[in-house]
Structure 1
Amino acid sequence: MTRRAGYLTIAALVMLLALAACGGASESVDGDWALSIDEYEDAWGSEEYTEEVDVTAARAEVGIATATDTRVPRPTNLSEALKTEDLDQAMVTLSQAVPTPAPAATPVSAAQTRMIVRTVDMALTVGDLAGALQEVQALAEGMNGWVVQSSRQEDHRAFISVRVPAQRVDETMGRLRELATKVDSEVSSSRDVTDEYVDHQSRLRNLAASEEQLLELLGQTAKVEELLLVQQELTRVRGQIEEIEGRIKLLEETVAFSLINVSLELEPAAMKTDVGEDRTASLGEPVRFRAEFTAPEGIEDFRYEWDFGDGSGPVVGNRTVPNADGVTRSTATVTHFYEDETDSPFIVTFEITGTGEAGVAEGEDTLTVVVTRLPRIDVFAGRDMTVDEGESVRFSGSFTRPEEMSQVSYKWEFGDGSSPVTGTLEAGDTTAEAVHTYANERPTPFTAILTVTGTGDAGTITSKDSMRVLVLESPGWSPGGTSGDAVSALGAIGRGLAQAAIWAGILSPIWVVALAGVAYATVRRRRGSK
């Protein structure tokens, strides 16, 4: 065989492989692909050559429709490429000369069995985590399946992934539900891989045909360089065949054995929780909430949530303190304001979750809050007044008293640092009185405040009012009361007599003349009467 014949043989090999990959040709192209070297020379010697490739046979077994135009044109410059003495350059030229047609559509026929990959994800709550892992593994093996992977996080979470025969997936899911105390979630998904599988099979047949031709060509080649080139191509084709075979096997196993992913979580231990008794709250007034709970041994971290039932956002916290008994713990106090009583009563829900080395613990409690509008109390402390220091002052304030209000009390504060005067009022009383003495005067008024407090269905009601008291310096001794008034009167008389004496002294000459005239007139009247 000449050197040119060897080149032609290698070129024929490249053309066969290119046509097999691009056109989807399989075992038959107008008869037999195993042409002699002389026949290749005769065919490629013409200026233009086309050959019709029947690709239907390559995909008939898998039900793939082929493109209507199956004619693959030969390149017209093959002979020019083979004239070169550089074999590598000839191979590059030939590979560039082979056109790459657009891939034909490969729809699957109606008779073709669909290949479906099914995956299931389940989240289960179980009472015994270690036991559940063993049971899931035993279940998979009993279904002729196997465990893909398993893991365990902390003491209360685990994950296991198994494969079971596709026809037994529903049965396996039913058995898994029986293992759980609660099914948290369950998601099943499917993916159709029929087209991918059929395409891989078609490529595999094409590559197998190419490998067969290469083996035949290997037996016809005597030169070392040609043998090396053919062997190199055989290695490449064999690698592609094994890769596709592995992909096909993976698809077949994936379809035949469905994947079930199971997330396991230990059932939380019970945690005793107490949020207190039901209560009544006032609209717009602060309401304080606090919970006590008993945590199991080994539970150290806590997270709790308050839902006040009025549509407002929940309040989340994690601050807790141990109580004096050394057994229970209390949460931090939270404050809430109810702004609308339309939907009253409201159900307040408290939920707490604890974690630790012992696993998970949960507790919950509720209470009812009745929200009402507070009745109004109008308080009148009295009019402003002016008094002397040391003078006893009587304070008398009044207020309105709603019918539903009971246990009414009052408190008078005088603003001078003295102790307030407090008292309780009988039913029907609407006046609060007190007596106070301001010991010292000052240029600015004191502020006296009257506070009235009552209890109603909505809770405690408080209202207040104030008055100003101006305290003046006392003009003299004033013991106060009736005796004080008498002393003031005597003082005024004394001051009048003193003023009269002063005027008498000033007018004494006039008074002497007048008195002398009166005395003279009196003496003459007596003498005349004798």
Structure 2
Amino acid sequence: MNNKTVTIFIIFIFIILAGCISTQNYQMKGEKSQFSSDLRFAGLGNKGSPSMDEGSNVNGKTFERKVISTATLTIEVASAQAAINDITNITLETGGFISSSSISDIGNNRKNGHLTARVPQKSFYSTIEKIDALGTEKYRQVSGQDVTEEFIDLGARLDNLQKQETRLQEILKMATTVKDIIEVEHELERVRGEVESLTGRLNYLNQSVEMSTITVTVMEPAPITGDGWGISDALRDAVRGFIESVRGIIIFTGFIIPILIYLSIAILIALGIKRKILPKLKR
């Protein structure tokens, strides 16, 4: 009985030693394939971005429609400066801000103003009506850009990249060679760069959706003068016609004076002949 027990014990020891040796060989020879497998598991085997089908429904969430609203207005006002001030006040009251504003002198005591306002989406249409009421509307264009699909796609890609970043950090802790550490850190740096890029784009889309853009041009009316009725043009044509007539008269006079002189001489000669020669012939 004792011999059997000793034999079983020895066999068990050999099995344990064989297992340890196999494990060590696997770790030494299969290190590269282990990290390659880990990288593939982290989603880095294919560096392409996930498709829309893979991330269109993230975690079962339904995304509301994302629309970037913009408007362009042109209104005629009595005073460009006063209108710019009024539009600024209207924008601030809605919780918005002015991104740019300018006034220029276009001559004839007239000024034009240009202003770009950012207002909350919920106040977009009401703000347009308030601005329109400041003067006479000359032009209006309202448009909306649907970015829902891009927003969902970016969100899905960002979610996948963040998971890859977490997995890479875990792989980095397991790396034992310099080569593996450099490889993992390189991939980690790339993933983090893409995460920052997508995060910036998502923030931009969110801000553009939440804060709509209204571009306004205000212009003062042209002064009421004869120009609008064509009187100035008529006066210019009259002066031009008068000058042309005087010019014609001068030219005509230049031609007719020599002729009149010749005719006068001829008449004088004829009268002289009539008075002196004809009476002698009658005698």
Bin for the TM-score computed over the shorter chain: 0.5 to 0.7
Question: Could you say if the C-alpha distance between residues 23 and 139 of structure 1 is closer, same or farther in structure 2, counting changes exceeding 3 Å?
Answer: closer
Structure 2 equivalent of residue 115 of structure 1? 66
1:60 maps onto 2:57 in alignment: yes
1:252 maps onto 2:95 in alignment: no
Structure 1 equivalent of residue 268 of structure 2? 439
1:200 maps onto 2:159 in alignment: no
Structure 2 equivalent of residue 159 of structure 1? 114
Alpha-carbon distance in structure 1 between the residues aligned to 2:38 and 2:273: 130
What displacement does 1:251 show?
1.1
Contact 2:49 2:157 in 1 (8 A): no
Structure 2 equivalent of residue 168 of structure 1? 123
Question: Could you say if the C-alpha distance between residues 416 and 144 of structure 1 is closer, same or farther in structure 2, counting changes exceeding 3 Å?
Answer: closer
Q: Which residue, 42, 48, 56 being the options, matches 1:21?
A: 48
What displacement does 1:161 show?
0.6
Contact 1:21 1:206 in 2 (8 A): no
Q: Which residue, 1, 11, 35 being the options, matches 2:36?
A: 11
Structure 1 equivalent of residue 17 of structure 2? none
Tell me the alpha carbon deviations over residues 305-329 of structure 1, each in whole angstroms, 9 at most, x when there is no partner: 67xxxxxxxxxxxxxxxxxxxxxxx
Contact 2:69 2:212 in 1 (8 A): yes
Q: Which has the larger radius of gyration?
A: 1
1:477 maps onto 2:281 in alignment: no
Contact 2:71 2:142 in 1 (8 A): yes
Q: TM-score, normalised by structure 1?
A: 0.39
Tell me the alpha carbon deviations over residues 401-446 of structure 1, each in whole angstroms, 9 at most, x when there is no partner: xxxxxxxxxxxx998526x9xxxxxxxxxxxxxxxx92136xxxxx
What displacement does 1:13 show?
4.5
1:125 maps onto 2:80 in alignment: no
What displacement does 1:243 show?
0.8
Q: Which residue, 134, 138, 142 being the options, matches 1:179?
A: 134
Structure 1 unmatched runs, 5+: 26-54, 65-110, 276-288, 292-304, 307-329, 337-412, 421-436, 442-470, 479-483, 492-530
Alpha-carbon distance in structure 1 between the residues aligned to 2:201 and 2:168: 23
Contact 1:6 1:226 in 2 (8 A): no
Contact 1:118 1:258 in 2 (8 A): yes
Alpha-carbon distance in structure 1 between the residues aligned to 2:67 and 2:157: 21
Structure 2 equivalent of residue 417 of structure 1? 260
Contact 2:77 2:218 in 1 (8 A): yes
Q: Which residue, 213, 230, 244 being the options, matches 2:167?
A: 213
Q: TM-score, normalised by structure 2?
A: 0.68
Question: Could you say if the C-alpha distance between residues 13 and 264 of structure 1 is closer, same or farther in structure 2, counting changes exceeding 3 Å?
Answer: farther
1:222 maps onto 2:183 in alignment: no
What displacement does 1:241 show?
0.8
What displacement does 1:206 show?
1.5
Report the RMSD for the aligned CA atoms in angstroms: 3.9
Greater per-residue helix proportion: 2
Tell me the alpha carbon deviations over residues 289-312 of structure 1, each in whole angstroms, 9 at most, x when there is no partner: 963xxxxxxxxxxxxx67xxxxxx
Question: Could you say if the C-alpha distance between residues 198 and 415 of structure 1 is closer, same or farther in structure 2, counting changes exceeding 3 Å?
Answer: same
**SS in structure 2 opposite 1:231?**
helix
Structure 2 equivalent of residue 240 of structure 1? 194
Residue identity in the other structure for 1:243: S
**SS in structure 1 opposite 2:180?**
helix
- Among all aligned residue pairs of Structure 1 and Structure 2, give the percentage whose two residues are the same amino acid: 19
Alpha-carbon distance in structure 1 between the residues aligned to 2:210 and 2:50: 31
Alpha-carbon distance in structure 2 between the residues aligned to 1:175 and 1:124: 12
Question: Could you say if the C-alpha distance between residues 143 and 18 of structure 1 is closer, same or farther in structure 2, counting changes exceeding 3 Å?
Answer: farther
Structure 1 equivalent of residue 252 of structure 2? none
Structure 2 equivalent of residue 91 of structure 1? none
What displacement does 1:128 show?
2.2
Question: Could you say if the C-alpha distance between residues 218 and 331 of structure 1 is closer, same or farther in structure 2, counting changes exceeding 3 Å?
Answer: same
Question: Could you say if the C-alpha distance between residues 241 and 157 of structure 1 is closer, same or farther in structure 2, counting changes exceeding 3 Å?
Answer: same
Question: Could you say if the C-alpha distance between residues 127 and 231 of structure 1 is closer, same or farther in structure 2, counting changes exceeding 3 Å?
Answer: same
Contact 2:119 2:213 in 1 (8 A): yes
Question: Could you say if the C-alpha distance between residues 267 and 4 of structure 1 is closer, same or farther in structure 2, counting changes exceeding 3 Å?
Answer: farther
Residue identity in the other structure for 1:117: I
Residue identity in the other structure for 2:73: M
Alpha-carbon distance in structure 2 between the residues aligned to 1:197 and 1:121: 25
What displacement does 1:175 show?
0.6
Alpha-carbon distance in structure 2 between the residues aligned to 1:158 and 1:10: 64
Alpha-carbon distance in structure 1 between the residues aligned to 2:29 and 2:239: 96
Contact 2:115 2:217 in 1 (8 A): yes
Question: Could you say if the C-alpha distance between residues 474 and 184 of structure 1 is closer, same or farther in structure 2, counting changes exceeding 3 Å?
Answer: same
Tell me the alpha carbon deviations over residues 235-266 of structure 1, each in whole angstroms, 9 at most, x when there is no partner: 21111011111111211221222111111223
**SS in structure 1 opposite 2:48?**
helix
Contact 1:123 1:263 in 2 (8 A): yes
Greater per-residue strand proportion: 1
What displacement does 1:192 show?
1.7
Structure 2 unmatched runs, 5+: 1-23, 242-255
Alpha-carbon distance in structure 2 between the residues aligned to 1:333 and 1:63: 81
**SS in structure 1 opposite 2:277?**
coil
Question: Could you say if the C-alpha distance between residues 116 and 273 of structure 1 is closer, same or farther in structure 2, counting changes exceeding 3 Å?
Answer: closer
Alpha-carbon distance in structure 1 between the residues aligned to 2:181 and 2:69: 47
